[in-house]
Amino acid sequence: MNKSLKMILVLTIITIISGTVLSYWDNFTKPIINEHKSNKLDKLILEILPEHNSIEELKLGEYNLYIGKQDNKIVGIAFKVEGGGYQDIISMIVGVTPDFSEITALKILSQKETPGLGTKIVEDPSNENPAWFTEQFKNVKVKPEIVYVKNSKPSKDNEIQAITGATISSKSVVNILNTNIGKVKKMYNEK
Domain membership of residue 150 (yes or no) is: yes
Domain membership of residue 109 (yes or no) is: yes
β partners of residue 149: 161
CB atoms within 10 A of CB 119: 18
pLDDT, one tens digit per residue, over 102-142 is 999 999 988 888 787 877 888 888 888 888 888 999 999 98
Could you write out the DSSP letters of every residue in 94-139? EEE-TTSSBEEEEEEEE----TTTGGGGT--TTSSSTTHHHHTTTT
Cα 120 to Cα 127: distance, rounded to the nearest angstrom: 10
Mean pLDDT of 138-152: 89
- The candidate with the shortest Cα–Cα distance to 94, out of 102, 109, 106, is 106
Provide, rounded to the nearest whole percent, the portion of the chain with pLDDT above 70: 99
Domain membership of residue 15 (yes or no) is: no
Read off the amino acid at residue 161.
Q
Domain membership of residue 3 (yes or no) is: no
Average pLDDT in the chain: 87
Domain membership of residue 57 (yes or no) is: yes
Domain membership of residue 121 (yes or no) is: yes
Question: What is the extent of the structural domain holding 88?
Answer: 49-190
Cα 169 to Cα 163: distance, rounded to the nearest angstrom: 8
Peptide bond into 144 cis (omega under 30): yes
Domain membership of residue 22 (yes or no) is: no
pLDDT, one tens digit per residue, over 167-186 is 888 889 999 999 999 999 99
* pLDDT beyond 90 at 27: no
Domain membership of residue 66 (yes or no) is: yes
- Nearest-Å Rg of the Cα atoms of the chain is 22
Say if CB 102 and CB 159 are below 8 A apart: no
* pLDDT beyond 80 at 92: yes
The pLDDT of residue 100? 92
DSSP structural state of residue 163: P
Domain count, the chain: 1
Say if CB 100 and CB 146 are below 8 A apart: no
Question: Which one is predicted more confidently, 26 or 46?
Answer: 26
